């Protein structure tokens, strides 16, 4: 399993060409607590694409709704 630690900076996504998600380098948030992430396939930047529960970055978000975000590879921990 792969995780992000509390306090990790994540780059939020924007919808782009043909409905795909891309990193929005002007929009960053910080994780509120440690969470499991779901790795996604992505080629094209120095960041890794992952899905995280919405409530990890929005305190009043839902934990059953996943958001695509982008993180530095070294921020991911495997357990």
Q: What is the pLDDT of residue 42?
A: 80
Q: What is the pLDDT of residue 60?
A: 74
Q: How far is CA 59 from CA 23, 31, 70, in A?
A: 22, 10, 19
User: What total number of domains does the chain contain?
Assistant: 1
Residue span of the structural domain in which 46 resides = 2-78
Q: What is the pLDDT of residue 78?
A: 93
In which band, very low, low, confident or very high, does the pLDDT at 67 lie, cut at 50, 70 and 90?
A: very high
pLDDT in tens, 4-53: 999 999 999 999 998 899 999 999 999 999 999 999 988 777 899 999 99
């Amino acid at each position: 399993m792969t995780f992000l630690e509390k306090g990790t900076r994540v780059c939020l996504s924007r919808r782009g060409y043909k409905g795909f998600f891309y990193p929005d380098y002007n929009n960053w948030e910080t994780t509120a607590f440690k969470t499991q992430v779901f790795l996604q396939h992505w080629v094209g930047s120095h960041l890794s694409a992952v899905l995280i529960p919405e409530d990890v970055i929005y305190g009043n978000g839902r934990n059953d709704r996943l958001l695509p975000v982008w993180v530095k590879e070294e921020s991911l921990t495997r357990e």
